[in-house]
Amino acid sequence: MTGKARKGKQSTDPFLDFRSDTVTLPSTEMRAAMAEAAVGDDVYDDDPTVKALEEKLAKLAGMEAALFFSTGTQSNLAALLCYCGRGDEYIAGDEYHIFRDEAGGAAVLGGISPFPLPTNETGGITVGQVAGAVKPDDPHCPISKLLCLENTVSGRVQDQDLIKSLSKTAKSNGLSVHLDGARIFNAAVKTGLSLEELCEPVDSVSICLSKGLGAPVGSVLCGSKDLIRRAKRMRKILGGGMRQVGVLAACGLYALEHNISRLSDDHDNAVRLGEGLSEIPGVAVNLSAVETNMVFLNPGEGHHEALSEYLAENGILIGIQIPEIRLVTHLNVNREAIDYFIQKTKDYFASR
Ligand SMILES: Cc1ncc(COP(=O)(O)O)c(C=O)c1O
């Protein structure tokens, strides 16, 4: 999902930015961790901080190995390229980032066909859909190789029993399973399940450090030793081999140590935001969909742009997706910011 930069506004402006959790800025302590990081050439396997981050996340996810990437898109794409060759197919929900928001990279660079399944209102897909999507051994069809899941999906935590059943169905049909866990720690904090429990049904997981965890850059792909060995080649092909990148991995390590449990504050703030906004006549918020750090606001026809402009004049940035504007809570918007947002939205509607 895109969060377009606003004309004339710089990221250093003191805006309260609700467009995404990717807008978080590294804290002073995180910057200090960067400055102190031991580094080496990671393409030569010489960067101790990258190694420490990869080992830590592999262990947390209960996987054999891990690999640091610049972005979630690159990590997902490297995984796709490992599992699928030209003429192969991956199956995914049609609202999943890997299908909808990664510029068709698997098709563009890998000759891999996507097979999107309609995603339901909880962000899930069903066992029946997956079973029905797997292609027979028929020269008319691409070869189904991979099921891609996502957790969380638009802030919604996926039911763990469903993940298990989907994975079982895929595997019994000879497919591997990759999880886009860009916000998997939001799911872990919400459910109380460990990262290892959440990842147990899948073969690989891509985890973003640059969303709610607050690091400026970085994603980590976790999987078997063999997958990660091949992913390293794919990362090189994609131009993603980086050198003294421990300065960035240090942010990830800092985030894992300091910024996981506080995600519950973001979740509480999202509920407060959703509840506050839903009191405004004419505004629609689906409160039951507020499970982690996202709130979807429908301000009513004709109000999207005007509300966005009004809030920007008052120091608040939001997207203008239609019909529902996605609002995301994160470590740079505290409770006071939430209350200010609600008040300014009330003021906007009162002035109409
Ligand atoms: C669910 C999900 N997966 C993957 C990504 C890709 O991450 P990146 O922006 O680091 O490429 C995003 C980015 O917003 C995302 O929301």
* Residue 5 confidence (pLDDT) above 60: no
Compute the mean pLDDT over every residue in the chain, rounded to the nearest whole number: 96
Tell me, what's the pLDDT at 132?
98
- Going by CA atoms, what residue is nearest to atom 13 of ligand 1? 72
Does ligand 1 lie within 6 Å of residue 21's CB atom?
no
Does ligand 1 lie within 6 Å of residue 73's CB atom?
yes
Closest ligand 1 atom to residue 71 Cα is 10
- Please give the CATH superfamily to which domain 16-25+262-350 belongs: Aspartate Aminotransferase, domain 1 (3.90.1150.10)
How far, in Å, is the centroid of ligand 1 from the Cα of 145?
22
Mean pLDDT of 65-76: 98
* Residue 330 confidence (pLDDT) above 50: yes
* Residue 4 confidence (pLDDT) above 90: no
Which of these, 267, 252, 257, 76, lies nearest to 186 by C-alpha position? 267
Whether 250 and 209 have beta carbons less than 8 Å apart is answered as no
* Residue 319 confidence (pLDDT) above 80: yes
Q: Phi, psi at residue 113, to the nearest 5°?
A: -85, 135
* Residue 33 confidence (pLDDT) above 80: yes
Q: Note the Cα 159 to chain centre separation in Å.
A: 17
Tell me, what's the pLDDT at 185?
98
How far, in Å, is the centroid of ligand 1 from the Cα of 72?
5
Tell me, what's the pLDDT at 173?
98
Mean pLDDT of 114-133: 98
- Going by CA atoms, what residue is nearest to atom 6 of ligand 1? 72
Using DSSP, state whether 149 is helix, strand or coil: strand
Q: Which two tokens stand for residue 216?
A: 């400026």
Per-residue b/e over 123-154, b at no fewer than 16 CB within 10 Å? Answer: bbbeeebbeebbbeeeeeebbbbbbbbbbbbb
How far, in Å, is the centroid of ligand 1 from the Cα of 223?
18
How far, in Å, is the centroid of ligand 1 from the Cα of 267?
19
Closest ligand 1 atom to residue 70 Cα is 10
Does ligand 1 lie within 6 Å of residue 292's CB atom?
no
Does ligand 1 lie within 6 Å of residue 72's CB atom?
yes
- Going by CA atoms, what residue is nearest to atom 7 of ligand 1? 72
- Rounded to whole angstroms, the Cα distance separating 10 from 21 reads 17
The boundaries of every CATH 3.90.1150.10 domain in the chain are 16-25+262-350
* Residue 337 confidence (pLDDT) above 90: yes
Mean pLDDT of 58-85: 98
Does ligand 1 lie within 6 Å of residue 124's CB atom?
no
How far, in Å, is the centroid of ligand 1 from the Cα of 103?
12
Whether 330 and 214 have beta carbons less than 8 Å apart is answered as yes
- CATH 3.40.640.10 is held by the domain 37-258: yes
Mean pLDDT of 282-302: 97
Q: What percent of the chain has pLDDT over 70?
A: 96
Burial of 49 (0-12, 13-18, 19+ CB in 10 A): buried
How far, in Å, is the centroid of ligand 1 from the Cα of 305?
25
- Among 10-19, 167-176, 327-336, the least confident range: 10-19
Going by pLDDT thresholds of 50, 70 and 90, the confidence category of residue 332 is very high
* Residue 7 confidence (pLDDT) above 90: no
- Going by CA atoms, what residue is nearest to atom 5 of ligand 1? 72
For residue range 178-219, what is the model confidence (pLDDT) as tens digits? 999 999 999 999 999 999 999 999 999 999 999 999 999 999
Tell me, what's the pLDDT at 82?
98
Q: Left if phi > 0, otherwise alpha if psi is -120 to 50, otherwise beta: which for 121?
A: alpha
Cβ neighbours of residue 296 closer than 8 Å, sequence gap 6 or more:
154, 285, 286, 289, 324, 325, 326, 327
Which of these, 322, 325, 331, lies nearest to 293 by C-alpha position? 331
- Rounded to whole angstroms, the Cα distance separating 250 from 182 reads 18
CA distances from 312 to 19, 85, 275 (A): 12, 46, 22
The boundaries of every CATH 3.40.640.10 domain in the chain are 37-258
Whether 92 and 98 have beta carbons less than 8 Å apart is answered as yes
Going by pLDDT thresholds of 50, 70 and 90, the confidence category of residue 11 is very low
How far, in Å, is the centroid of ligand 1 from the Cα of 351?
37
Closest ligand 1 atom to residue 22 Cα is 14
Q: What percent of the chain has pLDDT over 90?
A: 95
* Residue 13 confidence (pLDDT) above 90: no
Tell me, what's the pLDDT at 141?
98
Whether 196 and 62 have beta carbons less than 8 Å apart is answered as yes
